[in-house]
Amino acid sequence: MKRVLYFHGFASSPASSKITSMRPLLAPEIELVAPDLNVPSFEQLDWNAILELARERMSIGPDAIAGSSMGALVALSVATPSTPLVLIAPALGIADRWLTKLPSGDPISVFNHARGTEVPIHRAFFEQMFRVRVDENPPPSRVTVVMGRRDESVPFDLVESTWSRWETSGLVEGSCFIEIPDGDHGLTQFADLIASEIRQVV
């Protein structure tokens, strides 16, 4: 069985609708290994702790790495030249927005999709994300980006411009950008398409 290391997005979990939908689509040939990135907790989320966990999970020797939204930044952070990437609704080019779009105060209340309610999170996490620029250069491996034109959380234009910059700098052969005209940020209705893209790279 092949393994794909999958990093979920911000305010999500390994039990997200997308992961739950894709697991049976990929089984039995491909297993999605999806660690819980809410470390040490969602309320005290820490980027460095997330990366430490992600690097530990790389020990499984994944056949591909996938990441959704913030999880795409995690995937880019642990990318290797020999492991293809699939980035789903990736939070590319939005580092500056982590602070500029936030309300004042600490903690900050955000909607947590895993819990289905508003949950407080410390402002320090967003200050960390403001400094994360792992998407400035193209990844060292073949990469597939799946992005919805109607994404309500990550501006399509920012992701597209990041991709264009990567193309100029040089992408690994076989890399591709897949635009879904009616796709939103969740892309749960397109789990079959995403699963198909994962199958193509492993």
Mean pLDDT taken over the chain: 96
Q: What is the pLDDT of residue 107?
A: 97
For the domain 2-93+137-201, what is the CATH code? 3.40.50.1820
Q: Which residues contact 179 (CB under 8 A, 6 or more apart)?
A: 147, 148, 149, 156
Mean pLDDT of 152-166: 96
pTM higher than the cut 0.95 = yes
Mean pLDDT of 106-129: 95
Q: What is the pLDDT of residue 83?
A: 98
Residue type, 97: R
Buried b (16+ CB within 10 A) or exposed e, 106-136: eeeebebbbeeeebebbeebbeebeebebbe
**Domain extent listing, the chain:** 2-93+137-201
pLDDT above 90 (res 14): yes
